[in-house]
Amino acid sequence: MVKKHFCYLILAIIITSCSTNPYKTTEKVYDQQLKTLENQITSKDPQAIPPVSPVVIDTTYAAQLGIVKDTLSKTGSTHLVNGITTEWIGTVNFNLRKPSFIIIHHTAQDSLKQTINTFTKTKTQVSAHYIISENGKVVQMLNDYLRAWHAGASTWGKNTDLNSSSIGIELDNNGFKPFTETQISSLVALLTKLKKDYNIPTQNILGHSDIAPGRKQDPSALFPWKTLAEKGFGIWPDEVLEEAPFDFKIEQALRIIGYNTKNLSAAIMAFKLHYIQTDVTPTLDRKTIDTIYSIYKKQIQ
């Protein structure tokens, strides 16, 4: 009797092992698409930065671009707390996530070499996708689709994890000196490429100080936000400011723009660092209120 049951068990195993996987075809497509994305994400070929008129960039800088190698893999089964085990069946409809923000920083260090050294040490726990030196050299340190550690604890609107949705660009600058024309030329050229590649909204090009009021002050008040806005990277207040209505709610407007207003003074200072720059105090004078109103109107258009 035991022998008979054993034979049935062996037969069942054989039948099971010979049964056709109904998802074999789609799993093959999944594997092929995964391989394509893996090749895309691990490519080390330099990516050309297009020249931008009237900003001129030496195209040899494009040769400096490199991509850090990483790998993709399939996900196996996962055991859930209620005792259920997930089953893996690969879909054929997917692609890589795309960034929707660009965050600009200054390195607060003394050289490109020092910043690269910082970003290549595990203990620092900080990184960015790109670094742009004073002479315009562009170094890419991470594939655009991967998550760099540049934003830290930050928010913009309801987005509480900017690292997962943004590209971080560091400008080699200690925070106390003007940014060079060559450096800004390379930044504009790089922004032109990234904005086009990922269809990043104009208003989603921000500074570190915008997303971390009170905690960060980069890029400094010397950063040419107006120049960038004129070229389509970020927004800028009207030249002639319209007076804000008497019942204009300043804190609510800052929140709608994107600022975290839990510390209202810090939010005002962060706003002024970006849009006024000649005065970065928390004082709410007429110019500040009308500037907030101008940006608020552009944000909700």
Is 181 an active-site residue? no
> What number of other Cβ atoms are within 10 A of residue 57's Cβ?
21
The three-class DSSP label of residue 208 is: helix
The three-class DSSP label of residue 207 is: strand
**Cα dihedral value 278, 283, 287, 290, nearest 10:** 130
List 27, 87, 170, 239, catalytic entry: 170
User: Which tokens belong to 156?
Assistant: 């913009």
How many residues make up the chain in this entry?
301
User: Which tokens belong to 8?
Assistant: 């049935």
User: Which tokens belong to 224?
Assistant: 């040419």
Q: What share of the chain is helix, strand, coil (3-state, %, to 5)?
A: 40, 10, 50
Buried b (16+ CB within 10 A) or exposed e, 112-137: beebbebbeeeeeeebbbbbbbeebb
Tally the C-alpha atoms within 13 A of residue 107's C-alpha that lie toward its C-beta: 24
Residues belonging to the active site: 170
